[in-house]
Amino acid sequence: MTSSDVIRFDRISKTFGSVAANRAISLAVKAGEIHALLGENGSGKTTLVNMLSGIYSPDSGDIFVYGKREYFHSPRDAIRLGIGMIHQHFKLVAPMTALENIIIGQNGSLFIGKKGVSVKIRELSARFGLEVDPDKRIDDMSIGEKQTVEILKVLYRGARVLILDEPTAVLTPQEIVRLFSILRRMKDEGCTIILITHKLHEVMDVADRITVLRRGEKIGTLEKTETSIGELTDMMVGRAVSLEIERSDVAERKPIFETRGLSVRGRDSLRAISDLSFTLSSGEILGVAGIAGSGQRELCESIMGLLPIEKGEILFRGENLAGRKTAEIIKRGISMGFVPEDRLGMGLVAKMGMVDNLILKDYRFQPGFFIDRSPARARAKKMIEDLEIQTPGINTPVKQLSGGNIQKVLLGRELGSDPEILITAYPVRGLDINSSYTIFNLLNAQKEKGKAVLFIGEDLDVLLELCDRILVLSGGIAKGILDARTATKEELGLMMLGRTEKEASPIAAH
Amino acid sequence: MPPIKIRKRTETGGVRSFVIRATAILAALVVTAAFIALLGKNPIDVYASMVTGALGNPHRLRETIIRAVPLVVTSLGIAIAFKMKFWNIGADGQIIMGAFGASYFALNCPNLPQPLLLLVMAAAGMVAGGLWAFIPAFFKARFGTNETLFTLMMNYVAQKWVTYLQYGPWKDPKAIGFPKIPNFVDNAILPKVFGVHIGWIIALILVAVVHVFMKRTKRGYEIAVVGESVDTARYAGMNVRGIILSALFASGALCGLAGMIQASAVSNTLAVDISGGAGYTAIITTWLAQLSAPAIVIVSFLFAVLVQGGSYIQTAFQIPQAAAQILQGMILFFVLGSEFFVNYRVAFGRTVAPSESEVPEEFKVPAAYDEPASPEAVKTTKGGSRG
Ligand SMILES: Nc1ncnc2c1ncn2[C@@H]1O[C@H](COP(=O)(O)OP(=O)(O)OP(=O)(O)O)[C@@H](O)[C@H]1O
Ligand SMILES: [Mg+2]
């Protein structure tokens, strides 16, 4: 141990029932560095950092902060030591303003003058380049803004060490750029940062040192300058993996799905989609690009009959589905797997096991009153193998799985039903590289089988590599549909910000 | 003083929660023992005679079983609603209305053959009880009203209704001015098997039926999903409103059947106190049984022992009734209090390891279960413009 270690984990072990989430992990984080924590889904990253906020306590092993052995019972202990944690799922109080969220939970907060706080917040914002309107309500904020509030909150409480658990999983590319510039500013100010992410290019972008975990064990800590994406992947997975998405061409394509003049109001009854028309063919993957909140969710929900349609038609094989019940739409072979920001919100029952979650959408097609779970049990076992899902058992409540494994269950179910049209939104949010490519391959296989896929994504590189065509949404309006083979990231980016196809095309720019 | 920390648990191990609950019951027994000792009686003797009073001879055992039957049937009904996180505390009113429905036919069609009359009474009891639960369910599903208050209020309406019948239209002319509803004819009384009315067999059959219903049927699965997440249920294409309404009807129907059994076999008439508080006690037995049908049988029987033994020691030891009820009160107090320790962990200072991570809000149920497509929306779509 050197004196520059801010936090040092010493042989930390933690098991949950039969799962060893952390096995004798030793790790030192140096002052003023950005330390990335990498590892496949379920490798124990969240478990390890949660030891610092008292959410979990080690079964064995010690934690040293500035060389002194410390015990963590609650987030307060972390705050006391200047450690701030941004969780995988945010913990803000929605109906309050940013300012109120920042001061709640503070000792004697009742008597703190809001003015003084405002001044301090402004000062912090300026210093670290955080853009927050203190009087805006959390309800009205985008994910990126909420995250900024979280960061500001811990800085306000005097954190010098910041831990971020998959902060970029639900951010738009622009928001990620902004976040990283904040992190660099913090580093320049002498703060120490632990960053968990699955995106390797992000790691190569901001990290100084990188620690890789695999199945609860530490594989190694590397200097960023002395490693490569390839080496990191191999370390994480334990074998060499290829990172190519093969875009195949399906000869026979027929339009089977179409929206005409679709207009939808969102839950806040504001217009979320206006006059949207597009067609989707069998044997193709149609991507949907757009900054967060451009109507993606409403598009999915309206197709599935979860939101009322204000105007327009949704045609599947010539039949208008608008106004039909969700159950009828599922029955026609349209399936949606939407991975929301909180991952569990829609689609899975947290307290039920895999088996009961697998039957969620097709139990009704079984004859009679009773449910036969034996096919689902077999499917669950197969899925655990095919998608390498880590779970103690097929009946373990899914909320006990790691973030990525939860998601594999959701996607596995949607793919398993072999739908005519698969709508998938953010399917690789929070998935590790290996699993992400497994998912991409599965989507491609679906396309090759002649099925249609609507892929709502956020990573532009993936959209360009995977899809055949890309529909760009901006503020609920279609800005155009591009051929993914010829389109560029810049074009997409400009259109996402509201330019039309013409304005964004490189030729028209001159 | 070391700071006290309270944290929500994620892993509620079966063994540990059992230990906590057993400890609570033990604590209740100890505290009540102290109280009995204060009254100048030997607590051990009193407890021993409670057991013999409830189980000591065939007659007493039969009495205990008779007390357990309405608890079992009502608990099954409540369990269905609770599984959906619909807090139906209106079982008492549903029992009363079930008894009312059954009584209507018992009093008005006394000449029907016994099997037919009993079947009609059972059906009427179930429909009446079911409707009594359906009303608050409807308002909850449609307008997001609070079901706890609503179902509770319905209890009082049911009571007043029977009081009205008793003093008014159904008053027994033969009772010489005494406000009482006439006794049933023999045809309207449930037969006995092994000296106990046949309700005990009905109860056991229902336990099996409800168990299979909740674990193996589609509707049982749907109820569980709606109870966990309404959003997920809608996403899966479930008709959330229909599920809530039908499940609550079933819940009320079981309570109504309990009312029919009590009216027919126990009181042989309709009276305001027909439920004997079973509608409230059953809430506790259901909860302690963790909504599991087989466990409901055991817990209900133990509660019946407590009640029956309690009334026995009144006569045997000249302990006032109120004192006997203290033990029941204590058990409830400790057991319900222990739920806190089942769900939370309390740590003193920094020597005890803190608990595992927080869980999402467990009992979060949105106020109204709005179905997505409103009729107006569908209409506009049909005439919708082409883009
Ligand atoms: N509260 C819990 N109860 C039971 N098992 C748990 C619990 N929390 C985590 N686990 C298990 O511990 C293992 C490690 O989980 P952890 O959440 O630390 O993984 P992770 O590296 O953060 O994965 P991801 O990238 O998917 O978020 C997983 O197999 C998970 O199932
Ligand atoms: Mg994690």
DSSP string covering A154-166:
HHHTT-SEEEEES
CB of A296 closer than 8 Å to CB of A427: no
Residues 6+ apart with CB under 8 A from A343: A89, A403, A406, A407, A429, A430
Provide the residue type at A166 as one letter. Answer: E
- Stretch B369-376: mean pLDDT: 38
Inter-chain residue contact A366 with B225, CB threshold 8 Å: no
Lowest pLDDT segment from A106-110, B90-94, B95-99: A106-110
**Ligand found nearest the CA of A430:** 1
Cβ distance A350 to B229 under 8 Å? yes
The β-bridge relationship of strands A192-196 and A209-214 is unpaired
Spatial separation of the C-alpha atoms in residues A317 and A334, rounded to whole Å: 12
A478, β-bridge pairs: A473
Helix (H) and strand (E) counts in chain B: 14, 4
Asked if B255 and A344 count as a contact pair (C-beta separation under 8 A), the reply is no
CA distance B306 to B327: 8
Give Cβ neighbours of residue B108 (< 8 Å, ≥ 6 apart): none
pLDDT of residue B362: 31
Instruction: Give the pLDDT of residue A2.
Output: 53
Nearest Cα of chain A lies from the Cα of B335 at a distance, in angstroms, of 24
Where is average pLDDT lowest: A294-298, B123-127, B174-178? B174-178
Helix (H) or strand (E) holding A100: helix A98-103
pLDDT of res. B1: 42
Ligand 1 pocket: which of A18, A47, A51, A236 to mutate (most atoms within 8 A of CB): A47
Q: Select from A426, A422, A423 the least CA-distant residue to A407.
A: A426
E strands present in chain B: 4-8, 192-193, 196-197, 344-348
A111 touching chain B per CB within 8 A? no
Q: Is B385 close to A345, i.e. CB distance below 8 A? A: no
Inter-chain Cβ pairs, chain A and chain B, closer than 8 A: 136
The two structure tokens encoding residue B222: 């749907």
Q: What band does B100 get if pLDDT is binned at 50, 70 and 90?
A: very high
Distances (CA, A) of B163 to A337, B150, B155: 56, 20, 12
Which protein residue has the closest C-alpha to ligand 1 atom 19? A42
* Phi, psi for residue B52 in degrees, rounded to 5: -65, -35
User: What number of helices (H) and strands (E) belong to chain A?
Assistant: 17, 20
Among candidates A16, A54, A310 on the partner chain, residue whose Cβ is nearest the Cβ of B354: A54
Are the C-beta atoms of A421 and A316 separated by less than 8 Å?
A: yes
Chain B interface includes A462 (CB < 8 A): no
CA distance A463 to B80: 47
Nearest CA in chain A to B227: A349
Give per-residue burial for A143-179: e unless 16+ CB within 10 Å, then b.
Answer: bbbbbbbbbbbbbbbebbbbbbbbbbbbbbbebbebb
Token reading at B257:
């059947």
CA distance linking residue A310 with residue B376, whole number of Å: 9
Nearest to B384 among A277, A305, A311 (CB): A311
pLDDT band at B102 (very low <50, low <70, confident <90, very high): very high
Mean local confidence (pLDDT), B154-170 = 94
Q: Provide the greatest CA pair distance for chain B.
A: 89
Which of A56, A328, A346 lies nearest to residue B356, judging by beta carbons?
A: A56
- Please give the structure tokens belonging to residue A312: 């327009």
Nearest to A361 among B236, B239, B360 (CB): B236
At A48, the amino acid letter reads L
Task: State the CB neighbour count (10 A cutoff) for residue B40.
Answer: 7
Query: What are the domain boundaries of chain B?
Result: 62-301, 348-383
User: How many other β-carbons are positioned within 10 Å of the β-carbon of residue A358?
Assistant: 24
* Whether B180 contacts B174, CB under 8 Å: no
The more confidently predicted of residues A295 and B18 is: A295
Interface test mutation site (partner A, options B229, B345, B370, max chain A beta carbons within 10 A): B229
At residue A137, the pLDDT reads 83
Cα A401 to averaged position of ligand 1 atoms, centre (Å): 5
Comparing A196-200, A430-434, B324-328, B364-368, the range with the smallest average pLDDT is B364-368
What would the 3-class secondary structure string for B142-165 be? HHCCCHHHHHHHHHHHHHHHHHHH
Distance A398 CA to ligand 1 centre (A): 11
Q: Distance (Å) from the C-alpha of residue A96 to the closest C-alpha of chain B?
A: 18
Cα distance between residue A78 and residue A71, in whole Å: 9
Residues of B in contact with A399 (CB under 8 A): 359-360
Cβ pair B80, B244 in contact under 8 A:
no
- DSSP states of A234-281 as a string? HHHHSS-----------S---EEEEEEEEEEE-TTSSEEEEEEEEEEE
The DSSP string of B89-147 is: --HHHHHHHHHHHHHHHHHH-TTS-HHHHHHHHHHHHHHHHHHHHHHHHHHHHHH---H
Give me the pLDDT at residue B386, please.
35
Round to the nearest angstrom and report the end-to-end CA distance of chain A: 59
Instruction: Check residue A3 and give its pLDDT.
Output: 59
**From the CA of B353, how far away is ligand 1's center (Å)?**
19
Q: pLDDT per position in chain A (510 positions), as tens?
A: 455 789 999 999 999 877 889 999 999 999 999 999 999 888 999 999 999 888 888 999 999 999 889 888 888 888 889 998 888 765 566 677 777 777 776 654 455 566 777 788 888 888 888 888 878 887 777 777 888 888 888 888 888 999 999 888 777 777 888 889 999 999 998 999 999 998 888 899 999 999 999 989 999 999 999 999 888 888 888 877 766 778 888 878 889 999 999 999 887 778 889 999 999 999 999 999 988 778 888 999 899 888 899 999 999 988 998 889 888 998 888 877 666 655 565 688 989 999 999 999 889 888 989 999 999 999 999 999 988 888 888 999 998 888 778 888 888 898 888 888 999 888 888 788 888 888 898 889 889 988 899 999 888 889 999 999 999 998 889 999 999 999 988 888 888 887 777 777 765 444
In this prediction, the answer to ipTM > 0.90 reads: no
- Preferred mutation among A300, A344, A351 to probe B, highest tally of B CBs within 10 A: A351
CA distances to A510, B45, B208, B283 from B72, in Å? 81, 29, 12, 11
Rounded distance, CA B225 to CA B220, Å? 9
Q: How confident is the model at residue B360 (pLDDT cuts 50, 70, 90)?
A: very low
Residue that has been written with the tokens 């209305």 in this structure: B97
**Is the CB of B111 inside 8 Å of chain A's CB atoms?**
no
CB contact B318 to A (< 8 Å): no
Fill in the amino acid letter for B246. Answer: S
Rounded distance from Cα A198 to ligand 2 centre (Å): 10
pLDDT attached to residue B373 = 37
Report yes or no: B383 at the A interface, CB cutoff 8 Å. no
φ/ψ of A163, rounded to 5, equals -115, 125
- Interchain CB contact of B236 with A (< 8 Å): yes
- Indicate if the pLDDT at residue B358 is higher than 50: no
Q: Is A297 exposed, middle or buried (0-12, 13-18, 19+ CB in 10 A)?
A: buried
DSSP state of A419: -
Is residue B85 within 8 A of residue B348, CB to CB? The reply is no
Q: What is the pLDDT of residues B274-296, one digit of tens each?
A: 998 899 999 988 988 889 999 99
Gyration radius (Cα) of chain B, Å: 24
Tell me how far the alpha carbon of residue A88 lies from the centroid of ligand 2, in angstroms: 7
The CA-atom distances, in angstroms, between A472 and each of A292, A424, A479 are 12, 16, 5
